[in-house]
Copies of this chain bind each other. A is one copy, B any other.
Amino acid sequence: MFWLEINTSSKVDSLQNLKNKILSYTKVDEEPLDYWLSFYEKIELKKGESLISAGQVVTHFYYLDSGCIYYYKMQDGETKVLEFYTDDVFFTDLPAYVKGAPSRYFLRATEDTTVYAIKKSDTEKSFDNSHQLERFGRLSMQEAFIKSYSRVERLNSRTNEERYVRLLEKRPGLLQRVPQYLIASYLGLTPVGLSKIRKRLMRA
C-alpha cells in the first residue's frame, strides 16, 4: 500500500518531462492530459537492447525520456542509420505504426535508455475524446515533418565534410555517446570515409 503510493507518485514524477513536452505544443486541460498520461507504460532498455526489430508489428508510439535510440535498417548486411533519438522526443517507426504492417526497421538503444510507450488504440481513443489532444497530435507531427525536411535539405545540399561539422555543432555530445561508425552511416559514409574527413579537419 505504502509502496504503491510511492510508485504512483514516482510514475507521475517521471512523466513530468513528457507532460511538459506535450504542453509545449498547445494548451491541454488537466483532465484529458491525465487521461492521456494514464495510458503510458515505462520501458527500460539496457545498452544494445532493441525496442523494435524488423518483422515486428509496431503498436506503440514512444517518448524518449533519457538515453539514446537509433533507428536503422539492414540492407545487404549493412546497417543504415536513419535517425538518432535523444532526450525528450517522440518517435516510433511511423510507416509501420500507421499501416499496421510489419516494420522494416530496428529501434535499438546505444546506451541505457528509458522510454514511455502508449498503445495506438489508446492514442486514437484519446484523440477521439479530446480536440485538444488531437491538436497536440497535429502539432507534434508538424514538428516532426519540419525536422525531417531539414534533414533532407542537409542531405543533398552540403558536402559530407560540412554535414559532419554541422552535426558536431548541432548535436554536441552525440559523437561521445554513439560509436563513430553509426555516425558515418547516418551521414551516408563508410567508417573509413568519415575517418579521412576527421583527419582532414584535424590538420586544418
At the interface, yes or no: A95 with Cβ under 8 Å from chain B?
A: yes
Q: Are A152 and B95 in contact (CB under 8 A)?
A: no
**A141 on the B face (CB < 8 A):** yes
Stretch at the interface among A30-38, A49-57, A153-161, A168-176: A153-161
Q: Is the interface of A mostly helix, strand, loop or mixed?
A: helix
Q: Is the CB of A152 within 8 A of B82?
A: yes
Count of identical protomers in the assembly:
2
Q: Least Cβ distance of A185 to chain B in Å?
A: 8
* In the complex, A196 has a CB within 8 A of chain B: no
Judge if A138 is at the interface, Cβ distance under 8 Å.
Answer: yes
Q: Of residues 110 to 142 in A, which have CB atoms within 8 Å of B's CB atoms?
A: 127, 131, 134-135, 137-138, 141-142
Is A188 at the interface (CB under 8 A from chain B)?
A: yes
Interface locus among A8-16, A39-47, A62-70, A143-151: A143-151
Q: Does A19 belong to the interface (CB within 8 Å)?
A: no
Q: Which B residue sits closest to A72, measured CB to CB?
A: B157
